[in-house]
């Protein structure tokens, strides 16, 4: 499907932006130069008749994105949390995309539930409401269980949503391939891998069984986190297209007026959103990767309530340590150490000059730290870092895309609650605590124990592995010319097993 016919889809995107009047707003938000604005209008105007009309009652940018489909809506949801990038007016328009999209009929939802769970809705729920929220992929109904009388949220996928997403992703692949072909310098950014990563995330979101599993894991990880509540899924009433989960009662995090009227401390809430995200990313390596205001509420007791677990991020232990050291280095203005971490992790080619890279990082950090707190922005930092990566030939790290995107979103959410928040000051205690616990002598001992345990599982097989390897060498290489095989690592592994057992006993 990834053929030239996708040109029509991309042309229609530009034509839709022109027809709805969104193109002017987008270019203005980007602060595009007059020449670029003129080129965009010239390219878009002849094909205006191909553009989708959308809902005339909506503002231009929202009208265009909703007409173009779910993938574009997802993009708009992210931008809605970044008024510092797109401006307050456009951010307010895009908030519509979070949970106020046109719903599909409740009869269709009930039919989907009955087909998926093989039981009529009236037998499962004593109450079943009209849609209470409708987003790009699914809509939610408030219901009450017939057996226990508990309130639950029932999430149902939109009809035909998978096919619609595949059409958009197909066009994105075509665009990425065209970019790589026309601009070889862009290949270091690996646009095809970026789209492939996006496809994996989205396809996972279209199976609500995976979301139920994510909710259960996230709830288990965060059970002891003060000031956070995570609804748990009802497994017996969940399937591929339907998910039933505890009802989350509270005030929408986007409603500042209601939060103030209820007496909630928005400054404290902004700090908690940012710190909880960092704790989950660093401590657990498993974080909510779609933390916009539409997926967060505030309970009556002031606790944050998180829901919608369709997009989750996962980091391995090593990546978490690298991420923490980079953040900590910027916080301490230790640019040399930040440079070293990039080289150690292989993020920068080894043939580049580390001192020059450290100087470039200082150029990134110093202007930001010299700003007034309300102007310190993760978006600005990432923008500057992008310039540095281009200069030093760094490739896009696909495993960090979701983390970086989520951090930008979370910063936008925190700043919407407290425009004067200092993200570095709020992040510092979380990062310092992680550094103390996971980087240093105690962490080294733990790593040795884990290594010993892994080698210990292969201990009984070590003699046979050594013998088989030596036999294979002697039969494939003439004896006089054969070099001694480096079996020291196997022998050393046995010794390390013993050391690990001893260290484990001491710990």
Average pLDDT over residues 93-108: 80
Return the pLDDT at 498. Answer: 41
Q: What percentage of the chain exceeds 90 in pLDDT?
A: 29
Separation in Å, CA 368 to CA 331, 333, 375, 377, 378 = 11, 11, 8, 8, 9
Average pLDDT over residues 61-83: 76
Tokens describing residue 439? 């980087």
Average pLDDT over residues 314-338: 86
Q: Which of 75-89, 115-129, 325-339 has the lowest mean pLDDT?
A: 75-89
Separation in Å, CA 488 to CA 189, 381, 389, 484, 491 = 40, 46, 40, 10, 5
Return the pLDDT at 44. Answer: 65
Residue 339: pLDDT above 60?
A: yes
377: Cβ contacts below 8 Å, ≥ 6 apart: 84, 368, 411, 423
Return the pLDDT at 211. Answer: 93
Residue 497: pLDDT above 60?
A: no
Residue 499: pLDDT above 50?
A: no
Q: Which of 168, 246, 290, 418 is catalytic?
A: 290
Rounded Cα–Cα distance for residues 84 and 5 (Å): 36
Return the pLDDT at 428. Answer: 85
Each residue's pLDDT tens digit, 13-51: 888 888 888 877 776 765 656 765 676 666 667 777 778
Q: Does residue 343 contact residue 328 with C-beta atoms inside 8 Å?
A: no
Return the pLDDT at 478. Answer: 55
Please state the pTM of the whole predicted model: 0.72
| Residue length of the chain | 507
Is the model more confident about 478 or about 105? Answer: 105
> What is the pairing mode between strands 228-229 and 304-306?
parallel
- Work out the mean pLDDT of the chain and round it to a whole number: 79
- Highest averaged pLDDT of the listed ranges 233-242, 384-393, 418-427: 233-242
Return the pLDDT at 500. Answer: 39
Tell me the domain boundaries of the chain.
Answer: 6-98, 250-438, 442-506
Return the pLDDT at 502. Answer: 34
Q: Residue 490 — pLDDT band, cuts 50, 70, 90? A: very low
Each residue's pLDDT tens digit, 356-412: 999 988 887 787 666 666 666 665 666 666 667 667 777 656 566 677 778 878 888
Could you tell me how many helices (H) and strands (E) the chain has, helices first?
24, 10
Return the pLDDT at 244. Answer: 97
191: Cβ contacts below 8 Å, ≥ 6 apart: 176, 179, 180
Residue 467: pLDDT above 80?
A: no
Rounded Cα–Cα distance for residues 385 and 455 (Å): 40
Q: Residue 147 — pLDDT band, cuts 50, 70, 90? A: very high
Return the pLDDT at 263. Answer: 95
Q: Which of 71-75, 323-327, 348-352, 445-449 has the lowest mean pLDDT?
A: 445-449
Which H helix or E strand runs over 133? strand 125-134
Return the pLDDT at 506. Answer: 35
Residue 52: pLDDT above 90?
A: no
Residue 437: pLDDT above 50?
A: yes
Average pLDDT over residues 139-163: 93
Rounded Cα–Cα distance for residues 90 and 101 (Å): 17
Return the pLDDT at 495. Answer: 38
Each residue's pLDDT tens digit, 191-213: 777 677 767 777 778 899 999 99
Catalytic site residue 207?
no
Return the pLDDT at 409. Answer: 83
> What is the pairing mode between strands 312-314 and 286-288?
antiparallel
Q: What percentage of the chain exceeds 70 in pLDDT?
A: 75
* Strand arrangement of the beta sheet that strand 125-134 belongs to: 125-134, 138-145, 151-157, 242-246
Return the pLDDT at 330. Answer: 82
């Amino acid at each position: 499907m990834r053929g030239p016919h996708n040109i029509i889809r991309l042309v229609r995107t530009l034509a839709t932006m022109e027809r709805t009047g969104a193109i002017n707003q987008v270019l203005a938000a980007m602060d595009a130069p007059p020449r670029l604005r003129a080129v965009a209008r010239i390219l878009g105007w002849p094909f205006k008749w191909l553009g989708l009309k959308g809902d005339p009652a909506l503002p231009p940018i929202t009208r265009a994105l909703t007409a173009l489909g779910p993938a574009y809506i997802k993009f708009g949801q992210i931008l809605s949390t970044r008024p510092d990038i797109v401006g307050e007016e456009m951010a307010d328009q895009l908030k519509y995309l979070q949970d106020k999209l046109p719903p599909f009929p409740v009869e269709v939802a009930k039919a989907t539930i009955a087909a998926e769970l093989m039981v009529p809705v009236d037998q499962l729920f004593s109450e079943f409401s009209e849609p209470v929220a409708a987003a790009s992929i699914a809509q939610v109904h408030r219901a009450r269980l017939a057996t226990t009388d508990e309130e639950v949220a029932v999430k149902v996928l939109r009809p035909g949503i998978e096919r619609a997403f595949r059409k958009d992703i197909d066009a994105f692949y075509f665009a990425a391939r065209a970019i790589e072909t026309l601009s070889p310098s862009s290949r270091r950014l690996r646009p095809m891998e970026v789209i492939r990563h996006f496809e994996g995330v989205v396809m996972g979101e279209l199976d609500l069984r995976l979301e139920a599993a994510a909710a259960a894991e996230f709830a288990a990880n965060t059970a002891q986190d003060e000031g956070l509540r995570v609804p748990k899924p009802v497994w017996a009433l969940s399937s591929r297209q339907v998910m039933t989960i505890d009802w989350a009662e509270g005030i929408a995090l986007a409603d500042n007026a209601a939060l103030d009227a209820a007496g909630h401390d928005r400054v404290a809430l902004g700090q908690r959103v940012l710190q909880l995200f960092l704790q989950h990313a660093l401590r657990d390596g498993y974080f909510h990767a779609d933390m916009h205001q539409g997926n967060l509420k505030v309970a009556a007791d002031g606790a944050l309530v998180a829901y919608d677990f369709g997009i989750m991020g996962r980091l391995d232990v090593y990546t978490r340590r690298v991420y923490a050291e980079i953040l900590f280095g910027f916080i301490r203005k230790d640019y040399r150490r930040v440079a070293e971490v990039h080289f150690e992790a292989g993020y920068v080619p080894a043939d580049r000059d580390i001192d020059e890279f450290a100087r470039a990082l200082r150029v990134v950090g110093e202007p930001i730290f010299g700003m007034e707190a309300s102007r310190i922005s993760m978006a600005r930092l990432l923008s500057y870092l992008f310039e540095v990566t281009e200069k030093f030939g760094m490739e896009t790290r696909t495993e960090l895309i979701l983390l970086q995107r989520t951090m930008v979103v979370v910063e936008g959410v925190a700043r919407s609650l407290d425009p004067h928040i200092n993200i570095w000051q709020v992040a510092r205690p979380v990062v310092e605590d992680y550094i103390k616990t996971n980087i240093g002598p105690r962490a080294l001992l733990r790593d040795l124990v884990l290594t010993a345990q892994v080698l210990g599982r292969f201990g009984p097989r070590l003699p046979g592995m050594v013998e088989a390897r030596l036999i294979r060498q002697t039969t494939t290489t003439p004896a006089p010319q054969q070099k001694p095989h480096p079996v020291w690592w196997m022998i050393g592994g046995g010794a390390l097993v013993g050391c690990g057992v001893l260290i484990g006993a001491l710990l």
